[in-house]
Structure formats: C-alpha cells, structure tokens
Amino acid sequence: MAQKPTAKKTVAEDPRYTQALQSYESGLRAMQEHKFDKAKPHFQKVVSGPIKELIDRASIHLSICNQHLERPTATQFKTPEEHFDYAVSLMNVGDYVTAREHLEKLLKQNAKSDYVVYGLAALDCLTGHVEDSLKRLDEALHLNAQLRFQARNDSDFQNLAEDPRFTELLYPDPGAELGSADGDLGEEEPA
C-alpha cells in the first residue's frame, strides 16, 4: 500500500517562518548599526508571530532596543555643551556614526561654534578622513586660536602627527603673516 504525501510543510518551506526569519535578521542588522528605532518594529513582528524558536531571541533584542531608545536624546540636553559632551562620550566608546549625527545637529544649531567644529575635526581624523579633518581644524582655529594648544596634546589627532600641514596649523610661523603683508618687515637689517 502506498503512503499518502504528508500535508505538513517543513519549517524551511513555511512562508511564515521565512518571513519571521527575515524580520529577525533585518532587526539584527539595524541593531548592529545602532539603529534601534528601525530594529524595534522588526523584532515586534517576530514576537507577535507564530514561530516559537525566534520569539525568545527577538524578545531579548526588543528589550535591548527599548533600553537604548529610553536613553536621553538631544532634546533632553540642557545646554549645547552638555550635548557636545555626550557626543564626545560616544566618540570615546567608538560609536562614531551616532557621534557624528549629534555633532552635525549641534553644528546646524550654531555654525560658529568653535568646539563643535573642533570635535568634528577630531572625529574626521579618528575615522580616517584626513583632508576633512585638516579643513575643519583650520576652521576651528580661525574661530578660536586657543584651540591650537589643545590640539597639540589631543590624542584624537595622532593620525596627523607626522603630516606637515597639521604641524603648520598648530605651529604657525609668527613672522610669516608679517612677511607676507610687506616683503621686508620679517627680515632684520644688519647692524
């Protein structure tokens, strides 16, 4: 006697399982990129679905997303300086993407904020954007020349330490400005 083919589909063939697995993987990718607001709906979909194997894992990841989303946001900072300090703390833990988002938001609020431009210069250096870093550092120094002293000892600029353009920014020739304004003013006459 021949057996009837079974009507039950294997787990891999079940479209609900495939859809839940895709949502779970999308949530994980978003979470790894620190985009918790984008990860959350993917995990919610999995948790409310019928696939028990993924529900427990998705619940844990959903809880992590909720914890991150409950942390202070830019609108809860009392001062721009406090917001800047938060961005620097993100840089210090290696979350460069989120740090850049916060610094750029601060820069939009006040384009002439020397410390924000300086922070972006440091971030550009840390992320390997040497040309952008030099340009922003130059801009920050034009806004506040005192930042030269800070930059000389700032480990965030160690990638630029051997670059002569960096050295020129931090140790400008005091006579160069006078000499370029009037050809002879920088030279002494023999006595």
Give domain limits for the chain: 15-69, 74-181
The answer as to CATH 3.40.50.720 being correct for domain 74-181 is: no
The amino acid sitting at 29 is R
- Show pLDDT as tens, one digit a residue, over the chain (191 residues): 555 554 455 555 778 888 888 999 999 998 888 888 899 999 999 888 888 888 888 888 888 888 888 875 545 788 888 899 989 988 888 889 999 999 999 999 988 899 999 999 999 999 999 999 999 999 999 999 999 999 999 999 998 989 999 999 988 877 655 444 444 444 444 44
* CA contacts within 13 A on the Cβ side of 188: 2
Q: Which of 100, 109, 106, 108 is nearest to 133 (CA)?
A: 100
Q: For residues 93 and 71, is the Cβ–Cβ distance under 8 A?
A: no
pLDDT value of position 183: 46
Q: What is the pLDDT of residues 48-67, one digit of tens each?
A: 888 888 888 888 888 888 88
Q: Which of 166, 78, 91, 172 is nearest to 126 (CA)?
A: 91
Rounded-to-10 torsion of CA 151, 161, 102, 41: -160
pLDDT value of position 63: 87
